[in-house]
Structure 1
Amino acid sequence: MIDISSKTNEHFRRWSDLSSARGIKKHQEFILMGEKLISEFLANPSFKIKAEIIHEDLKPLTTSLKGTRVPLFKLPKALFNEIDVVGTHYNLLVLEPKEIEVLSTDKSPKGLEVVCPLGDPSNLGALARSAMAFGASKILLTEESCNPYHPKAIKASAGAMLKLPIFKIGKLADFLQGNDQDFVLDMKGENVAKFPWPNDLRLVIGEEGPGFSGIKGLKKLSVPSEGVESLNATVAASIALFCYANRKK
């Protein structure tokens, strides 16, 4: 076990960076936080564990892993809480992210593929949670998307972000170029509850604010609402995913 007591320590400084997408990309590490998420992960580890971080009131969790020796670090509570940005007050695992492959979009979709240009980590995580719950086959991230390993994204996804297949596809505008199996979720379009959902398609979620402004020739689906101009993008997407899951097969 390595004791760290100073903010100038290189490990502490690196972990402090991991609360941002830039830091995750730079160091190629992210932190898994939360008792339930960590318990599920340790039952079937799917990422390389780089370190475990504890404070004086916590007991190590990784020492029982067979065939794996994980570096263990202990921090004073004050420093620990600075790393524990989600406020779990539980052991932290430093993991190595997986390389996100580029998906060739000239291939036809298999199942429901959800295209996510969402820049807010909490929104992306919540959408991934719904995508897993309602049977999406994969998540496709555009250049506009936030980092899927951001702690807020992982927390909001309830771990779905670590389980769903994730690919990247480049800029959203470049992607939306006349594919018959791409449908965008917009304020105006065919009612998702009445739409004859095919088994295989790509559902494109619009980022709140810009949406799909300036892009023509799109096939649109919508979630009708009353009393409000529009729904939160993640809420609307979850309703659409539910309709897909309950389609007539």
Structure 2
Amino acid sequence: MAGPLLLDDADDPRLAPYRAMRERDLVGRQGRFIVEGEVTLRLLFSRGARFRAESVLLAPERWPGLEPFLRGIDRDDALPVYLAGKDVMSAVTGFPIHRGVLAVGLRGGDPEPDALIPPAPAPALILGLVGLTNHDNVGGLFRNAAAFGADAVLLDSACCDPLYRKAIRVSAGAALTVPFARTGSGAALLDLAERHALTPFALTPGGGEALETLQPPARALLLLGTEGPGLPEVVMERARRVRIAMAPGFDSLNVATAGAIALHRLAGDRLART
């Protein structure tokens, strides 16, 4: 890569992809997304990563620590690295920048959901999200999926974007590394489970099976719905309903917490072998 370029004008056109980050995250940025912080920056360039970086923007004091890493990146073209003071970065993004590490990633095309599922009879653990619109919860669930070895996350059309800046940050970068794809609906997730011999589990406080007594199958689809309404009845009636045992008088967990507990249980022997 060439040396970094120092930019001291917030109106420099090379900084346009970083402009007004909060507002543009809500409406999209033409196939781009923003990565924030050193941990997620490194994951964006990790081996086998799905996404590609368009540019990197650093506060000057962050360059010495990241220079060896960025110079060691193997790619066919030169990666633009821009340096700008935090006052310039804050003026461009629209809010105070503290970490001094940003990058623009390119989304590329979305994979087909079927392509992300290991073929039978190999073990498979898929996380299916239905109607989750909270970026913290989606980011937390991607982090859980990575921690417990899920093969992929599949989201229905109502779920929020896992590449929203906050979702990436909450996921500790897992949204950049865990394979994911969109399906049209919860029913489409269940159709996919049938095609790929996945046992579907609907996590719900009213489940007839206790999670702690469940014998994890080799191939499973864990379905999670939004907090409050939960999964639609038309989805749950086609799945095995399981519950997490809780203290008497209380039956509510944050969906990301509940997902972590269920993924740990369903991961079964795959965790013991690591």
Structure 2 residue aligned with 1:217 = 237
The answer to whether structure 1 residue 102 and structure 2 residue 115 are counterparts is: no
Q: Please provide the CA RMSD for this pair.
A: 3.1
Of 62, 81, 86, which residue of structure 2 is paired with 1:77?
86
Pairwise CA distance, 1:53: 1.0
Worse-superposed segment, 32-41 or 149-158: 32-41
Of 138, 158, 163, which residue of structure 1 is paired with 2:177?
163
More helix by share: 2
* CA spacing shift, 1:233–1:244, aligned 2, 3 Å: same
Structure 2 residue aligned with 1:48 = 52
CA distance in 2 between counterparts of 1:40 and 1:49 reads 11
Pairwise CA distance, 1:54: 2.3
Q: Is the 8 A contact 2:89 2:97 kept in 1?
A: no
Pairwise CA distance, 1:90: 2.7
Q: Is the 8 A contact 2:216 2:267 kept in 1?
A: no
Structure 1 residue aligned with 2:129 = 116
CA-to-partner distance for each residue in 1:131-161, whole Å, 9 max, x for gaps? Answer: 1211211111110111111121111111221
Q: Is the 8 A contact 2:220 2:266 kept in 1?
A: no
TM-score (norm 1): 0.83
Aligned pairs for 1:143-182 (under 5 A) are 143-176=157-190, 179=194, 181-182=199-200
Partner of 1:238, secondary structure, is: helix
Structure 2 residue aligned with 1:38 = 41
CA distance in 2 between counterparts of 1:69 and 1:97 reads 19
Worse-superposed segment, 52-61 or 186-195: 52-61
Of 16, 19, 33, which residue of structure 1 is paired with 2:19?
16
Of 247, 252, 259, which residue of structure 2 is paired with 1:237?
259
Aligned length in residues: 246
* CA spacing shift, 1:213–1:49, aligned 2, 3 Å: closer
Of 213, 220, 236, which residue of structure 2 is paired with 1:201?
220
CA distance in 1 between counterparts of 2:90 and 2:158 reads 30
Q: Is the 8 A contact 2:139 2:162 kept in 1?
A: yes
CA distance in 2 between counterparts of 1:85 and 1:198 reads 47
Partner of 1:221, secondary structure, is: strand
TM-score (norm 2): 0.76
Pairwise CA distance, 1:66: 4.9
State percent identity of aligned pairs.
Answer: 23
Moved beyond 6 Å, runs of 4+: none
The answer to whether structure 1 residue 186 and structure 2 residue 186 are counterparts is: no
